[in-house]
Structure 1
Amino acid sequence: MRVGELAGRTGVSVRALRYYEEQNLLSAERSPSGQRHYPESAVDRVQLIQQLYAAGLSSKTIAELLPCVIDGRATPALLERLATERGHVDQRITDLLHARDRLDSVITAATSNMLTGMSCRRKSESTSSADGR
């Protein structure tokens, strides 16, 4: 398939696909006229690359890990690296859950204040005046 079709099927821009090639994350065969042609498996590979980027991995890390993620074969060092990256993903998930919980508490407090007729601004002003500021 040509680059435009791969872009359409994966929701990734043509520019991003070219970047993936520059970073050795994706490869294409070239026609005699220089057009890129990708195998059907490129769709899954691009989706995997996108997932790994979304998990916070750099293109360099993705390039190092892709062979073992795709082939399922890895050296002990690569397995350790995968476990480390998984730990980083777990930590980001934990951090995001804490951020969500914090937002939930702010939303709950703001909703409660709206029901009692006190806005966040009015509440902070009354707290400041009680402090003598």
Structure 2
Amino acid sequence: MRIGELSARTGASPRSLRYYEAQGLLASSRSPSGQRHYEEEHVQRVRLVQAFLAAGVPSGTIAEMAPCMSEPTRDRARQALEILGRERARLSEAIDGLVAARAALDHLIEDNHTYLARSADGVP
């Protein structure tokens, strides 16, 4: 498939797909005229890259994992486990921070609801 079809199927812009390729996150073959061609498995690869990027995983880290995703070997599996463990810990820390921020917001929301209810009853 050509870049336009991969873009349509994944929602990634052609510019993003070219960026993924430049960063080593995606590889394409080229036609004699230089057009990029992708295989069916590239759809899943792009979706995986998008998910990692949305989670805040840096493109350099994804590039480190890329060989582990397409051509697993024993050494690459070990490397992947190290990288994935590190990223999982980073995401867990970020999630914990978000949960704490949400709890603080919930507390402030409740305090303000209570204040409004009291002031409606004539209590300043």
TM-score by length of 1: 0.78
Number of residues of Structure 1 aligned to a counterpart in Structure 2 = 119
Residue deviations 1:65-103, cap 9 Å, x none?
Answer: 122245554353442232111111111111111111111
SS of residue in 2 equivalent to 1:57: coil
> CA 1:14 to 1:117, structure 2 compared with 1: closer, same or farther past 3 Å?
farther
Equivalent position of 2:109 in the other structure: 107
Equivalent position of 2:40 in the other structure: 40
Q: Relative CO higher for 1 or 2, CA cutoff 8 Å, sep ≥ 6?
A: 2
Q: Is the aligned partner of 1:116 residue 2:113?
A: no
Residue deviations 1:5-62, cap 9 Å, x none?
Answer: 1111111111111100100101111122222111111111011111111222111110
Mapped to 1, the partners of 2:40 and 2:47 lie a distance apart of 12
Structure 2 residues without counterparts, runs of 5 or longer: none
Mapped to 2, the partners of 1:44 and 1:79 lie a distance apart of 20
Equivalent position of 1:55 in the other structure: 55
Letter in 2 for 1:97: V
> CA 1:117 to 1:20, structure 2 compared with 1: closer, same or farther past 3 Å?
same
Mapped to 2, the partners of 1:35 and 1:71 lie a distance apart of 25
State the identity as a percent: 46
Structure 1 residues without counterparts, runs of 5 or longer: 119-125, 127-133
Q: Cα RMSD over matched residues?
A: 2.0
SS of residue in 1 equivalent to 2:87: helix
Letter in 2 for 1:63: A
Equivalent position of 1:66 in the other structure: 66
Aligned counterpart for 2:84 among listed residues 82, 85, 90: 82
Mapped to 2, the partners of 1:16 and 1:104 lie a distance apart of 37
Letter in 1 for 2:19: Y
> CA 1:8 to 1:117, structure 2 compared with 1: closer, same or farther past 3 Å?
farther
